[in-house]
Amino acid sequence: MATIDYKQFITKDLTSLANDSIAELIEKAKKYDDVVSLGRGEPNFDMAKFMKDAMICAIKENQTHYVSGSIPELNGAIADKLKNENGLHIDSQFRIVVGAGSLPVLQAIIGAIVEPGEEIIVTDPTYLKYISIIRSMHAKPKFAIVYEENNFIPTVEELEKAYTNKTKAIMVNSPCNPTGAVFTKKQLEEIAEFAIEKNIIVITDEVYENIIYDDAKHYSIGSFDSDISERTITLNSFSKSYAMTGLRVGYAAGPIELMKHVFNYNYFGHICACVPSMYAALEALTNPKSKEFVQSMVKEYDRRRKFIVKRLNEIGLPTKMPKGAFYTFSRCDNFDKNSHNFANNVLEKSHVIVIPGSAFGPHGEGFVRISYATKYEQIEEAMDRMEKLLK
C-alpha cells in the first residue's frame, strides 16, 4: 500500500480531464456479450491494400530509422494536395509539420502559442479532446455555444461572448465531430472576419473533409485571402479519410513563423511519425486508386446516414440530417433530459452504446452522439433494439 499521496505531484489541469461518463459506459458495456456500439469515432473499414503494400515495402527497404519530422516526399505531396484540393496559398512563407496523428500536432500548436491561463475559443458542444489538450497545456477553453436551430454553427454573437483579452485562438472544425455540421463559405468568412478583427489565430481541423454528403462543399478557411491565410493553421490527418487511425499520421500547415515553433514542439516530443506509416500516407495522396477508395467509403456512410436518421426520427429521437462526418447528434430530452442517464438506460436495457451529449460540453446536454461508422446490419439491429425500448 503506497504511503505517498501522489495527487500532490499531479498538475490540477490534468486531474480535471477524465471524462468519467464515457469511461463508465464503456466499462459497464464489458458486462454484456452482445453489445452493439454506436460510439465509434473511427472508420470501420480497413485500409486499402495498395497502402498496406507501400508500408510493407518501406519496412522491407529498411525505412525504419529516425527522420527529421517527415519524409520529404510526403511534405511535397501534402503541399500539392493543399494547393490543388484546398486552394491554400503555398509559398516559401508556408510550412508543413507532420506528426503522429493530428492530435499530437494540435498539442504542439497549442503548446507553441499559449501561455498558461490564456484562452482558446471552441464551440459548445465540441470535440472532447480539444478541451483536454487545451487544459493539459494549462490554457482555458472558452465556449461559444452552438444551437441546433442554427445547424450547430457558431454565430458571431456567440463568438463575441466567448472572446476576452486573453483569447489567443479559435478552433474551427468542419465537418464537425460531434454534430456532423458543415460550415458554409459565408459562415467561415464571418469567422475569418472575427479572427482578423480580434487579431487571433485560427486553427482549422479538417480531418473529416472528405466525408461529406449531398450538396455540401468543404471550404478551407485558410484559402480565402492573405489576411486570413497568414493567421490560419490548417490541421488534417490520414486517419478518417483513409481508414488508417492506428498508423498515426497527421499534419498541420501554416505560416512559417508559427510553424517553425510547432515543428520544434512536435520534434522534441516525437522526433517523427512512424516512418513506414508515412509511406502509406504518401501512397494515399499519390496513388490514383485512392479517390475511388474514399468514395466507396463515403457512399456506404451515406447509405447508413439516410437509414439511421429515418429510424431515429421514427423512434422519437429528433435528428437533423448531418451534412458531414459519420455522427448524428440526436435529441434525447423527450425521454430523459439527462443524456448520461439516457445513454445508461439504453446500454442496460438494449445493450447499445450511444455517447451522452453532455460529454462534448454543457450545451451537448439533452442530446446523444450516435456514430454510423458501424456495419449497416449492426445499425439495423441497434435501431430495432432501441425502438423496442423507447416506443
Ligand X SMILES: Cc1ncc(COP(=O)(O)O)c(C=O)c1O
User: Does 290 participate in binding ligand X (rule CB under 6 A)?
Assistant: no
The grid cell for 57 is 515495402
Q: How far is the CB of 205 from ligand X (least distance, A)?
A: 5
User: Does 99 participate in binding ligand X (rule CB under 6 A)?
Assistant: no
Q: How far is the CB of 101 from ligand X (least distance, A)?
A: 3
Nearer CB in complex with ligand X: 119/206: 206
Nearer CB in complex with ligand X: 247/259: 247
* 3-class state of residue 345 by DSSP: helix
| x/- map, 183-212, ligand X, by CB under 6 A | ----------------------x-x-----
d(CA 315, CA 325): 22
The grid cell for 92 is 516559401
Nearer CB in complex with ligand X: 95/240: 240
Give the angle 278-280-286 at the CA atoms, nearest 5°: 100
Q: How many CB atoms lie within 10 A of CB 235?
A: 23
**Which candidate, 86, 94, 109, places its Cα nearest to that of 285?**
86
User: Does 103 participate in binding ligand X (rule CB under 6 A)?
Assistant: yes
Q: How far is the CB of 105 from ligand X (least distance, A)?
A: 8
d(CA 144, CA 131): 13
Nearer CB in complex with ligand X: 247/386: 247
User: Does 329 participate in binding ligand X (rule CB under 6 A)?
Assistant: no
Chain-centroid distance of CA 3 in Å reads: 40
d(CA 380, CA 311): 9
Residue pair 371/326 in contact (Cβ under 8 Å)? The answer is yes
Within 8 A by CB and 6+ apart from 251, the residues are 70, 78, 96, 97, 98, 99, 102, 105, 235, 236, 237
Out of 173, 223, 328, 374, name the contact with ligand X by CB under 6 A: 173
Scanning 97-105, 113-121, 280-288, 378-386 for contacts with ligand X by CB under 6 A, the matching segment is: 97-105
Q: How far is the CB of 288 from ligand X (least distance, A)?
A: 24
Out of 41, 254, 324, 357, name the contact with ligand X by CB under 6 A: 41
Q: How far is the CB of 242 from ligand X (least distance, A)?
A: 11
User: Does 19 participate in binding ligand X (rule CB under 6 A)?
Assistant: no
User: Does 101 participate in binding ligand X (rule CB under 6 A)?
Assistant: yes
Scanning 101-109, 267-275, 285-293, 296-304 for contacts with ligand X by CB under 6 A, the matching segment is: 101-109
Q: How far is the CB of 204 from ligand X (least distance, A)?
A: 11
* 3-class state of residue 64 by DSSP: coil
| x/- map, 218-237, ligand X, by CB under 6 A | -------------------x
The grid cell for 289 is 486508386
DSSP string, 161-207: HH--TTEEEEEEESSPTTT-----HHHHHHHHHHHHHHT-EEEEE-T
Q: How far is the CB of 119 from ligand X (least distance, A)?
A: 20
User: Does 324 participate in binding ligand X (rule CB under 6 A)?
Assistant: no
Under the rule (CB under 6 A), what is the footprint of ligand X?
41, 101-103, 127, 173, 177, 205, 207, 237, 239, 245, 250
